[in-house]
Amino acid sequence: MLVKDKYFRLFISENQIQDTIVRLGKEISEDYADKFPIFVVILNGAFMFAADLMRQIKFESQITFVKFTSYQSMESSGEVDELIGLDMDIRNRHIVILEDIVDTGLTMYEVLKEIKKYAPASIQIAALLQKPEALRHEIPVAYRGFEIENKFVIGYGLDYAGFGRNFKELFILDETQKA
């Protein structure tokens, strides 16, 4: 499939994603049912993951959104910018950060540093994807959907230069085809 000027091939199906989200929802529901957590969604990429995961959460909770960016086109810029910050009091609250992908860990490292300033009771990370080979910061992902190789992926909220977020599946860069 051609997206902008690159070819991608199917990597993880919609059914695999949804089955994984059901599993993550059960795990989080067991761990947080009596804690009234705040889910902090990292925009833009985690919006689809967050929407589907929140439908699996079977207890009272709150949700808020923050936006940090470190990507330009297909690579990490090496710098993290906060574009939208926390808009609610999280002091002494249990926090579950929802992220689409933990890649280098740079964005999550900065997000964790920022959230810790507000003295929450606890912080855990739920990520649809994690790339262990790409990590530059040790990031403890408590709820991980898929561990993947260090390849560029799009779909299900992840994008290539703003394109491809709307796909129900995940696609991996197909380096065998040229546009």
Residues known to be catalytic: 103
- Say which amino acid occupies 165: R
**Dihedral angle, C-alpha 18, 106, 142, 123, nearest 10 °:** -120
Three-state secondary structure call for residue 2: strand
Helix (H, G, I), strand (E, B) or coil at 34: coil
CA dihedral (128, 90, 77, 138) positive or negative:
negative
| Cβ proximity of 41 and 169 under 8 Å | no
Report in angstroms the alpha-carbon separations of 166 from 49, 127, 155, 171.
12, 18, 6, 12
Which residues on neighbouring strands pair with residue 126, listed in sequence order? Answer: 98, 143
* Range 133-156 burial, b when 16+ CB lie within 10 A, else e: ebbeeebebbbbbbebeeebbbbb
